[in-house]
Amino acid sequence: MAKTKPSERASKKKSANGKPKKTKASPESLLIQATALLQTSQPDEALVLAKRALGLLQPGDEPTTEALPALNLLGEIYVELGEPETAREAFTAAVALDEEGVHDGAEKFLWLAQLNDEGGAESVRWFQKGVDVLKREIGELEAKRKTAEMEDELEEKKQKVATALCGIAEVYMTDLSWEEDAEARCEAAVTEALLVAPNSPEPLQTLASIRLSQERLEDAKAALNRSMALWKDLDVDDPKVPDHPLRISLSRLLMEAKMEEEAIEVLERLIGENDSSVDAWYLGGWCLHLLAEKQQQAGETKTTKALLRASRDWLDNCLKIYTVLEWEDERLKEHVDELLKELNDTLGPSTGEEEEEEWEDAGDDDEGSDDDDAEMEGT
């Protein structure tokens, strides 16, 4: 006779007190949950699970490569929690277990390049280590039979190489700018980044930054236009659209290159996607202030006033969010206070929502007919 299927109640294992036993979570499941929490901006909860996973993967004092996923995730969590020193400790422990990135790739090296408190040559060394690991992985992928999934992975790794090379160029523009061969190393790094990822906006932005430092304004503008052309007409969810920090950097470069109209276009889009960005509100207010100065020099009094009011509106919003989020960038706040004092001295007390309305009117006037201009002048 065939065996009968045990009932659900009977099949459940019970503990001594008669209650069903809880299934012990595996390290893999804990890390998956922790990663999901980190991606949804819950680093405190992610930290608890990642620590549990590390305890299971490395129960004793003896280091083991099995602990690498937990160590790397802990490093990222501590970065999110604003604890760079603890994050460095986690990534350094991971490096000690896997000095060549054979087991878990290049991420720990790239993080250490950014978190290194010594900066300069040490950051370059970590970036280069990450690049070397990624190039090895790219070579291994290219030697295999291609699939759509592998192509995506290949492109992702090439993008990481380009980002690391841009990081090297940035170091030579800042911490190591005094070195005799700094400019040559900048050029070499950004040239390689452009070859590795020709359709990536980041190397073009870095190239523009280099050209601005060389006072080659037209070349910088050309690079910025090429960079924006790669993504500006794409939907917000398209993976080719640069992340928020990269577009904040782009806005700064555009303003430095005297491309304020393009900068405000980028910043308006950023605010549309995330209206709690202190940096975006600040840069938008400053950019509108610069546009107002240009209009004033051109004798456009009405447009100047509208732009100044819009600038004040953006800067007021910046301060509100700065307070709510308890932002800690004192230099930013000092500049905002300085700009607002100047704006209030010029415009008088704020009257509410007229700033946004006048800014919209100014935009309509820029695209309107001569009749519109005449009507505006008559008001």
Q: What is the pLDDT of residues 176-185, one digit of tens each?
A: 999 999 999 9
Please report whether residue 337 resides in a domain: yes
- Average pLDDT for the chain: 87
Please report whether residue 355 resides in a domain: yes
264 & 283 share domain? no
Q: How many domains does the chain have?
A: 2
State both tokens at 274: 């995330």
Mean pLDDT of 140-150: 84
Please report whether residue 43 resides in a domain: no
**pLDDT given for residue 54 in this prediction:** 94
Say what the pTM is.
0.83
Q: What is the pLDDT of residues 204-227, one digit of tens each?
A: 999 999 999 999 999 999 999 999
Output 117 or 130, whichever has higher pLDDT.
130
Mean pLDDT of 74-79: 96
**pLDDT given for residue 3 in this prediction:** 42
**pLDDT given for residue 7 in this prediction:** 42
301 & 244 share domain? no
Please report whether residue 350 resides in a domain: yes
Percent of the chain with pLDDT over 90: 75
pLDDT band at 353 (very low <50, low <70, confident <90, very high): low
Q: Which residues contact 290 (CB under 8 A, 6 or more apart)?
A: 255, 260
282 & 344 share domain? yes
Please report whether residue 246 resides in a domain: yes
In three state form, how does the secondary structure of the chain look? CCCCCCCHHHHCCECCCCCECCCCCCHHHHHHHHHHHHHCCCHHHHHHHHHHHHHHHCCCCCCCHHHHHHHHHHHHHHHHCCCHHHHHHHHHHHHHHCCCCCCCCCHHHHHHHHHCCCCHHHHHHHHHHHHHHHHHHHHHHHCCCCCHHHHHHHHHHHHHHHHHHHHHHHHHHCCCCCCCCHHHHHHHHHHHHHHHCCCCHHHHHHHHHHHHHCCCHHHHHHHHHHHHHCCCCCCCCCCCCCCHHHHHHHHHHHHHCCCHHHHHHHHHHHHHHCCCCHHHHHHHHHHHHHHHHHHHHCCCHHHHHHHHHHHHHHHHHHHHHHHHCCCCCHHHHHHHHHHHHHHHHHHCCCCCCHHHHHHHHHHHHHHCCHHHHHHHHHC
255 is in which domain, residue-wise? Answer: 199-275
Please report whether residue 303 resides in a domain: yes
Highest average pLDDT, of 17-21, 27-31, 224-228, comes from: 224-228
Last residue of a domain, one of 218, 243, 275: 275
